[in-house]
Amino acid sequence: MARDWDDLFIRDLPPADPDAAHGAGGGEAASAANAAVSAPADSRRVFRRLRENLTRTRQALGAEIQATLFERLDEHTWERLEEALIAADVGAPTTAAVVERLEREAAGGELEGGEQLTARLAELLAELAHTDAPDTIDLRSRPAVILVCGVNGTGKTTTIGKLAWRLGRELGLRVVVAAGDTFRAAAVEQLERWTQRADVELVKGARGSDPGAVAFDAIGAARARGADVVVVDTAGRLHTQDHLMAELAKVRRVIAKQIPGAPHETLLTIDATTGHNGVRQAKLFSQATPVSGIVLTKLDGTAKGGVALPIASELGIPVKLIGVGEALEDLRPFDAAEFARALVS
Ligand SMILES: Nc1nc2c(ncn2[C@@H]2O[C@H](COP(=O)(O)OP(=O)(O)OP(=O)(O)O)[C@@H](O)[C@H]2O)c(=O)[nH]1
Ligand SMILES: [Mg+2]
């Protein structure tokens, strides 16, 4: 069963009364979305779209899988498969373990034919994504606060636009976005465009103003309007920029002071096109500030999509969302099994 939005978000589902759901789009949109996710035709459509958006990785990997697992198996099969997975950035040690296991099972006669081998390969790859940390996003607080941070240009603002649209228009929640990147005027304008498309409220401060103050105002606005979720954008930064890391810590403190236990979710964006380098950078970032979930972005623009699978165990933080394009609907909950199948099929 594919993991979907309703599995990702923990929330008090609204009672049957349609007036209980609010926000632009309202209850109708919410129930339509819920009905749609349960329809098999729709999940097939979503899976097709995921495959399309992963084309670059899939083509590189798929051609090798066709040329290996669907041909006569010999030692070159396993070498070539291993090389292809490493090229897709699955990571050398994890790849070796997966291929060795597949080879052993094939030699033991447990698997026969390309179809079975491919299906088993997808299963083994999906297992790489397992962590013990919770892979859900808890939205039960009123408001729930989601803080989004990461290195420059990794896709924070774009992810927030897509997430706000999903929460607001599709799930019928009332969303307030905080323009916590006060460095550049263009950053606020970019976020403003996204929030207009998503039809959610934006709280912004003057250019150069304190990001903590913007977060403070956004939570105040959310409380005043009975909003369900506050999503806080932040400026890009490196873990080595002490003053900027201190600023991020301050934003967290301001949020926690207003709502004990908040931020309820801290998402770190990683640009998939930077492959394992991005993962190493994210590791350092997550050691400098608490992070509860990864958003892997730009998977549509890379042949290194295999990187999604080992990240969770390498960082000890689950991948919760993936960005597969620049349209509003191009943010997906990360379902390792579905993802692995999309890569190899
Ligand atoms: N193809 C593709 N492009 C993406 C995706 N996510 C973000 N981008 C693009 O990546 C670029 C940077 O995205 P932003 O959202 O501005 O990144 P940011 O982390 O907010 O950047 P800073 O605020 O400057 O640190 C933009 O051109 C986005 O359109 C994605 O999933 N797929
Ligand atoms: Mg930004």
- The ligand 1 atom at the shortest distance from the C-alpha of residue 301 is 1
255-265 b/e (C-beta count within 10 Å ≥ 16 → b):
beebbeebbbb
pTM, entire model: 0.91
Say if residue 205 is exposed, middle or buried (CB neighbours under 10 Å; 0-12, 13-18, 19+): buried
The answer to whether 130 touches 206, Cβ cutoff 8 Å, is no
Check residue 215 and give its pLDDT. Answer: 98
Query: How distant, in Å, are the alpha carbons of 74, 76, 265 from that of 83?
Result: 15, 10, 37
- The Å distance, Cα 154 to ligand 1 centre, comes to 6
Ligand 1 contact, 252 CB (< 6 A): no
Ligand 1 contact, 56 CB (< 6 A): no
- The ligand 1 atom at the shortest distance from the C-alpha of residue 297 is 31
- The Å distance, Cα 275 to ligand 2 centre, comes to 20
Q: Give the list of residues 6+ apart from residue 241 with CB closer than 8 angstroms, or none.
A: none
Ligand 1 contact, 123 CB (< 6 A): no
* Candidate from 297, 331, 332 with most ligand 1 atoms within 8 A of CB, to mutate: 297
Tens-level pLDDT at each residue, the chain (345 residues) = 458 899 999 987 665 555 544 444 444 444 444 444 456 777 888 888 889 989 999 988 988 898 899 999 998 999 999 999 999 999 999 999 999 999 999 999 999 899 999 999 999 999 999 888 999 999 999 999 999 999 999 999 999 999 999 999 889 999 999 999 998 889 999 999 999 999 999 999 988 999 999 999 999 999 999 999 999 999 999 999 999 999 999 999 999 999 999 999 999 999 999 999 999 999 999 999 999 999 999 999 999 999 999 999 899 999 999 999 999 999 999 999 999 999 998
Nearest residue CA, atom 10 of ligand 1?
Answer: 155
* Candidate from 158, 241, 329 with most ligand 1 atoms within 8 A of CB, to mutate: 158
At 339, list the tokens.
Answer: 């993802």
Separation between Cα atoms, residue 320 and residue 306, nearest integer Å:
15
